[in-house]
Each structure stands twice: as C-alpha cells, then as structure tokens.
A and B are shown apart, each in its own frame.
Chain A
Amino acid sequence: MLPSLSRLFRDIQLGIKNLLLHKLRSLLTMLGLVFGVGSVIAMLAVGEGASREALEQIRRLGSRNIIISAQKPSDEQTATNVRSFLSIYGLLYSDVTRLAETIPTLERIVPVKVIQKEGRLGKRAMDLRVVGTNADWFELVSRPLIAGRVINQSDQAGRKNVAVLTEYGARRLMATEAVIGETLRIGSNYYEVIGIVQNESAQEGAIQTPDQQTDAYIPLAVAREHFGDVFTQRKSGSQIRERVELHQIIVEVESTELVELTAAAIERQMQLYHSKKDYVVSVPLALLKQAEATKRIFNTVLGAIAGISLLVGGIGIMNIMLASVTERTREIGIRRAIGAKQRQIIAQFLIETVVLSVSGGVLGIGLGLLIPWLISKIAGMPTVVSAHSLILSLGISVSVGVIFGIYPAMRAAKLDPIDALRHE
C-alpha cells in the first residue's frame, strides 16, 4: 500500500497552501484560539505559581506536624483596660507531659516559650525573640547548622546558659561568624553562643511560622528560670500582665495517616484540662488539603473560562470554514467528479481546520509562555508553566479543530457533485 504518512504530509501541505491563499483571514480566524490558549496557559501558570507558593509555605511547617498555640481567650479582651489585670491563659508545662503520656502516636513533642527581649553582644544590641525550647526543635524545623552546634540533652539537663542564634541575628550582632563562644546578654542574664543556624527567609504564611529571623534559642528550663511565666507589657499608661507558661507545643506524628486522628485526640485532651478556649490546634496537613481543594476549585473555574474562550475560538473557525466550503463548492464538485469519496473531502477540510487550530494553538502557547514571563519579570509574581498545561493546550487545539471542523467538512462532502459543478 501507499505510504500513508507521506500522504498525510502532502495533505497537510495542501491544507497549509489553501490557508495561505487567505493569509489575513486565516490569521484572524486563528486569533480567537491564540488568545484562548494563551490566556489559559498564562492563568494556569499564575495560579500554579501562587498555589505552589502557598503549598510550599504550609509544607514547610511539616505535613506530619500539629501545632498547638496559646491564644488569649476573647472574653478577656474587654478586661485589657483594667490596670494591672493579670490574665492567665495559654499552654501549660503539664500539657506537654500529659500529651506525651496519653497520645501514643507522637514521635516528638517540642514545647516553645517565647519572650521578646533585647539582646546585647558587646556594644551591639537588637530585639530578639527568645525561644525556650528543647533539642528536638532543631530536628523539627531542620534548619542547616552554619557554625557550632545546637542545644543538646546535656544543655537541657544541666540548665546551661547557652544560646543558638540565627544567621541573621548573628550578622546583626557581630557582622562576623566568629560569635561562637561569645557572651550574649539577654535582659540581665548571660549566655554563651554555641551555634548559628540558617534562618528561614521570613514569609508571612497563613499560620505563624515556627521560627523567625530574630530567634535566639535557649533551653526551656533556663528560659523558665530566667524569665518566669509572667510578662508585663506597657501600653499607653496601662499595664497588661499575662501569665503564659508555653506559647506553642509542636508535635510530630509518626505518619501522615495518623495526623488527623492525633489532632482530634489532642483537641480532646486539651478540652479536658482547659476550661477556656485559650489554645488553637492547627494542622498544616489539613491546611494543605484545604489549599489543594481551593486549587482544584480554582482550576475548575479556570477550566470553565478556558472552555468558553475556546468555544468562541472554535465557533470562529467553524464560521470561516463554512464560508470556505461555500466559496470552494466548485472545487469540491471537481474533486468529486474526478472520483474523490465523501470521506476524502471530509479529510481535506478537516485537515485544514486542524492545521488552522493547531497553528493557533502553537502561537497561543508562545503567548502563554510570554505572559507569565512578563508577569514574573514585571510584577514579581511567581509563575509556573507546567508541561502538562502545554500538552493539554495542544490537545485542546486539535480537538477544537476536529469538533468545529467536522460540520463544515460534512457539509462539503454531502454536496451533490452535479450541483457543486454548476455552482458559480
């Protein structure tokens, strides 16, 4: 038999030739699809970029982690104007031991106590977020160590006055990495700087990120001993005093499958021992799932918009092809008289529409690559053009060509050869 591939190639060549006879018309017809495909890819890229960023932020919190944070109960808000009012809320030291004892699915449990204090190192000073925690913290946030070492079990047990700084904090205080072994003063206490960890670039996420640029990590027992549990804030003449034992408890669950179950168990345990709702249990995994669900909705909406624009493009193509069929009635008659079968006429016109729509699709892909690039360049938004969106667009272009080309092609094929030959 004949080599059908070279024949198809010939058919495509003929199609291109016919389309080039009316360059402007073909171009205008394609435009609908160019913009349709282009905007679909661009929107997907922007959406993907935004959601990937959000998902990454959540993922960074750890998909196996559950974060229990202290929260001031809302009914106490009204009492803030009362002078020297002491509000007691937040997580308790006993919560840590109780959770560790009652919930078997925990791999790690990390208590966090946060104190805002000024730190001094020689002449330099900066406001620090002093984090009292244990050795597990560094496992949990897994921040690369730059110099020295992190807090270990013996620091904890020996209640040693040691501190780990972030890279940012170390730079601010010393502008050199030789801070290891120096003495850091926080409030009225002195600490030996034992290590520097890389800081996570501060980004505002949906929930509070567990570590920040200005952190100074010290053993929890030391923090408790030095700073106590009562904090005083002075605000426009009035004093707010709070007693908070722990600000956060971060737990790591054995496996992601157990996260939701464990979160529910924690919630129950906390309810049992906290009469007020002075804590929040947040599950990054749940947020992740929620973000993914949002992304799916977003994609669906996008798909609908894309569908409409491609429909419009397709109708444009159909319109032109119908005009082309009318215009070329004579040619169809000649081909039929010579012996072309109906399906060969269909193939001829269908190839033309598919060539038209695929050309539009390819130009659209070009546009779809250009727009996200410009958006990233100019607006600084992250965009991700995924390979599958390109393949999808090309597939859609072919489908548009076939779907909207089939009717004009059938109409051409169904023409009576005698009438077609008589057509002026």
Chain B
Amino acid sequence: MAMLPTEQTKAAATPAAARFENIRRTYIMGTQQVHALDGVSVSFEKGEFWAIMGPSGSGKSTMLNVLGCLDRPTGGKYYLDGQDVSALDDDELSDIRLKYLGFIFQSFNLIPQLSVEENIALPLYYLGWKEEDSAKRARELAAMVGLETRLRHRPNELSGGQQQRVAIARALANDPVFMLADEPTGNLDSGTSEEIISLLKRLNRAGKTIIMVTHEPEIAQNAGKRLYMRDGLIAGIEG
C-alpha cells in the first residue's frame, strides 16, 4: 500500500498512459453498496507492460472497464495521457476509446460477418479514414501479426490463435496510447497462449503500452509489472 509512484512521476516530461487518483466505483446492489474500486491510485507509464491479477470479485474487471473508458468512476480522477477523462459523457468517452485505446478480449470479439481485413479496419472506419487508406493499413497490420494470407477469410474460418491475432491487429489500428487485454489467452491452449503472449511482448518491446488482466500467474510472469487487487484495493505491485 505504500508504493504509490504517482507523485514522484508526475513531474516527468511525458504524462503517464493512465493514472488513477483515488478512483472509486460503487455499485448499488439492491439496498447494498458494493465498492468494486475503493479508492485506487496507480500510474501506468508509457512503454510498460502490466498484468493485473487478483481473485474474481477483487475489482480487476471494474478496473479494466474504467481504464477502458467503458465505465465511469463514481469518485476520483482518471488521467488518460494527461487528460482528465473521469467526468466525460458517453460521446466523449466513445471518442477517447476510438482515438486512444485498443481492446483485446478473451473471446476475441470479432464481428462474424466481416472479413479479417474489415475487422482490422473497423476502428479506422469510425475514425473516418478513406476506404483505400484503411484497407492499406489493415493489410499492413495483418502482415505484422502474420495473417496477410487470410485477409478475405471470415473469423469462423480461423483458429483461436489466429482470431486473437486479428483482434490484436484491430487493437493496433488506431495506434492507441495503451492496449487493454482482458484475459487474452483465456480461450486458448497453452501453445497458442505462448504465441499470443510473445506477440504482445514483441509489441511492448516496440514501444506499446499494454495493460493485461489475467488470473494465470505464468501468463502474468511475462509482464514487466504486476498489480494485485483484493477487495477493490491494490494489494501489491511487483516489478
């Protein structure tokens, strides 16, 4: 609990990718208040690879949702790349997600009726890119994750590992400030998990900031930093 690097790093030239200041998220369940996040302060610096761990109900999913601007904190401040995003409305949050964030999900979450290329290009569509430009970028990203020969395929024609690589390519399309991965290997066998993790590590080495939620310690070992959650609070930070 003593490890709060927030104040010290604040003066750094580049702002943190994401910084929580006493973030709270309270749900009302019937008459009971549930503190999913009970005053969390943490700073995720650019270029870092974090693993967030903790038992279910510890608040790690809520943390991911708040970090991903899918959920708004009930209290505290959230600075994303130096910008206060804790009190934005739905449209503004959508815009933040579109421009600064990339999501990778456990169940890949590709759109089944779209081809690999179209799935990768989806964020660019919402960014208003021209079709030629976004198709070109999608092909480059597909090549980067080793799927340049699968551009016209549908997600259901690909293996799980391939689908997750499409999802990673999609998350990279908008060149996000940080990538959020929610149990990215949860639906994959160990061999494929390895493959995906090494891809993430490669991206991190190339400068990408990655925040990953996982409950598997051996997966978390790959991250440079590990954050342990318990009862809506940070139980510890490693690395």
B103 touches A337 (CB 8 A): yes
Chain B interfacial residues counted at CB < 8 A: 31
A338 touches B70 (CB 8 A): no
The B99-136 residues at the A interface (CB cut-off 8 A) are 99, 101, 103, 105, 109-113, 122-123, 125-131
Chain A-chain B contacts (Cβ-Cβ < 8 Å), number = 64
- Given the known interface contacts A331-B111, A337-B68, the answer about A342 and B130 at a Cβ–Cβ threshold of 8 Å is no
- Expressed in whole angstroms, the Cα–Cα distance for A21 and B112 within the complex equals 11
Task: Tell me, yes or no, whether A305 is within 8 Å of chain B by CB.
Answer: no
Task: Tell me, yes or no, whether A129 is within 8 Å of chain B by CB.
Answer: no
A338 touches B122 (CB 8 A): yes
A338 touches B113 (CB 8 A): no
Task: Tell me, yes or no, whether A247 is within 8 Å of chain B by CB.
Answer: no
Task: Tell me, yes or no, whether A289 is within 8 Å of chain B by CB.
Answer: no
Kindly specify which of B44-52, B89-97, B186-194 makes contact with the partner chain. Answer: B89-97
Chain B nearest Cβ from A105, distance in angstroms: 71
A421 touches B109 (CB 8 A): yes
The A15-35 residues at the B interface (CB cut-off 8 A) are 17-18, 21
Task: Tell me, yes or no, whether A158 is within 8 Å of chain B by CB.
Answer: no
Task: Tell me, yes or no, whether B199 is within 8 Å of chain A by CB.
Answer: no
B94 touches A341 (CB 8 A): yes
A418 touches B126 (CB 8 A): no
Q: Which residue of A lies closest to B173 (CB)?
A: A338
A339 touches B126 (CB 8 A): yes
- Given the known interface contacts A18-B113, A21-B113, A421-B109, the answer about A338 and B90 at a Cβ–Cβ threshold of 8 Å is no
B126 touches A340 (CB 8 A): yes
> Which of B112, B113, B123 sits near A339, CB closer than 8 Å?
B123
Task: Tell me, yes or no, whether A335 is within 8 Å of chain B by CB.
Answer: yes
- Expressed in whole angstroms, the Cα–Cα distance for A333 and B95 within the complex equals 15
Q: Which residues of B contact A21 (CB under 8 A)?
A: 113
A337 touches B97 (CB 8 A): yes
Task: Tell me, yes or no, whether A369 is within 8 Å of chain B by CB.
Answer: no
> Which of A334, A339, A417 sits near B95, CB closer than 8 Å?
A339
> Which of B71, B91, B103 sits near A342, CB closer than 8 Å?
B91
Chain B nearest Cβ from A257, distance in angstroms: 61
Q: Which residues of B contact A379 (CB under 8 A)?
A: none
The A248-297 residues at the B interface (CB cut-off 8 A) are none
Task: Tell me, yes or no, whether B98 is within 8 Å of chain A by CB.
Answer: yes
Q: Which residues of B contact A340 (CB under 8 A)?
A: 94, 98, 126
Task: Tell me, yes or no, whether A336 is within 8 Å of chain B by CB.
Answer: yes
Q: Which residues of B contact A3 (CB under 8 A)?
A: 130
Q: Which residue of A lies closest to B97 (CB)?
A: A339
B126 touches A344 (CB 8 A): yes
- Expressed in whole angstroms, the Cα–Cα distance for A360 and B96 within the complex equals 39
Q: Which residues of A contact B101 (CB under 8 A)?
A: 339
Task: Tell me, yes or no, whether B222 is within 8 Å of chain A by CB.
Answer: no
Task: Tell me, yes or no, whether A330 is within 8 Å of chain B by CB.
Answer: yes
Would you give the 0/1 interface string for A309-351, flagging 1 where the beta carbon is closer than 8 Å to chain B?
Answer: 0000000000000000000001101111111111010000000
Q: Which residue of A lies closest to B129 (CB)?
A: A2
Task: Tell me, yes or no, whether B65 is within 8 Å of chain A by CB.
Answer: yes
Chain A nearest Cβ from B65, distance in angstroms: 6
Q: Which residues of B contact A18 (CB under 8 A)?
A: 113
Q: Which residue of B lies closest to A337 (CB)?
A: B103
Chain A nearest Cβ from B16, distance in angstroms: 21
- Expressed in whole angstroms, the Cα–Cα distance for A336 and B111 within the complex equals 12
Q: Which residues of B contact A336 (CB under 8 A)?
A: 70, 94
- Expressed in whole angstroms, the Cα–Cα distance for A1 and B128 within the complex equals 9
Q: Which residues of A contact B94 (CB under 8 A)?
A: 336, 339-342
Q: Which residue of B lies closest to A7 (CB)?
A: B128
- Given the known interface contacts A10-B131, A418-B71, the answer about A335 and B103 at a Cβ–Cβ threshold of 8 Å is no
Extra pairs beyond A337-B70, A339-B101 (4, CB < 8 Å): A1-B128, A3-B130, A340-B98, A340-B126
In the complex, 6 of the A-B residue pairs with CB atoms within 8 angstroms, ordered by the A residue number, are A2-B130, A334-B110, A338-B122, A339-B126, A340-B98, A342-B91
